[in-house]
Structure formats: structure tokens, C-alpha cells
């Protein structure tokens, strides 16, 4: 007990007030509740590095496997593409059979 008091007095150990605990807890919840955290982690796990200027091209089927959505359409990834473009300066293209460019005309 006296060792703990001595560590607090000498500065080796710090005490935390209840208001500081609330602030850190609120900040942690912001990070955990990030809308795209799982999507970005899934892209990194597959091997995409989110660096400036990178273009990530996925077909709809593989995008749904990596980052599941309730709405199984290309436009479900529009907000993620906007976020990646804004924050990481990289571009996400999700294509489907309807949106693919036909080269064999």
C-alpha cells in the first residue's frame, strides 16, 4: 500500500479521475463504431494497401464475400468508395456483369 502511494507521489504511477475515464471510453467507442473499419480491415487482409493513387477493382461477387452487404448491388459500396477516396486517396471500383465493359463486341 505504501509502495503504491510512494509511486503516485514520485510520478511513477498516475491516478485517473472519473471524468478522464469517461472521455477515453467515449473515444474508444467512436473507433469501434467506425462504419468502414471491418471493410478496410478485410481489404488489407486480402493484400490491398490503401496508399494514395491505388485503384482497387473488385467484381461484385468477391466484394460481397469480403465485405457483406444487405443490398447486393454495386451502389451499396458507393459510400465506402467515397470514404476511401476522401481519406486514403485511393479508388474503389466494384463492377458487376451489368456494369462491366464488354470488350468482345
The residues spanned by each domain of the chain are 1-33, 35-105
* Cα separation, 42 vs 4, whole angstroms: 44
Q: Is 51 helix (H, G, I), strand (E, B) or coil?
A: coil
Whether pLDDT at 30 is above 50: no
Of 89, 1, 73, 79, give the one whose Cα is nearest residue 39. Answer: 79
Average the pLDDT over 25-53 and give the result: 72
5 versus 82: the higher-pLDDT residue is 82
- Check residue 28 and give its pLDDT: 36
* Cα separation, 35 vs 30, whole angstroms: 10
Over residues 42-99, the pLDDT tens digits come to 998 999 988 889 999 999 999 999 999 999 999 999 999 998 898 888 999 999 988 7
**Partners of 58 in the β-ladder:** 94
The DSSP letter of residue 58 is: E
Phi-psi region of 89 (alpha: psi -120 to 50; beta: other; left: phi over 0): left
* Cα separation, 82 vs 66, whole angstroms: 18
Whether pLDDT at 105 is above 50: no
Contact 47, 60 (CB under 8 A): no
Whether pLDDT at 25 is above 60: no
Amino acid at each position: 500500500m505504501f509502495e503504491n502511494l510512494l509511486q503516485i507521489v514520485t510520478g511513477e504511477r498516475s491516478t485517473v479521475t472519473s471524468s478522464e475515464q469517461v472521455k477515453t471510453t467515449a473515444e474508444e467507442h467512436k473507433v469501434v463504431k467506425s462504419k468502414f473499419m471491418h471493410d478496410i480491415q478485410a481489404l488489407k487482409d486480402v493484400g490491398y494497401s490503401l496508399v494514395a493513387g491505388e485503384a482497387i477493382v473488385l467484381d461484385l461477387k468477391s466484394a460481397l464475400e469480403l465485405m457483406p452487404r444487405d443490398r447486393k448491388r454495386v451502389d451499396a459500396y458507393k459510400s465506402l468508395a467515397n470514404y476511401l477516396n476522401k481519406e486514403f486517396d485511393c479508388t474503389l471500383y466494384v463492377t458487376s456483369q451489368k456494369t462491366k465493359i464488354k470488350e468482345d463486341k
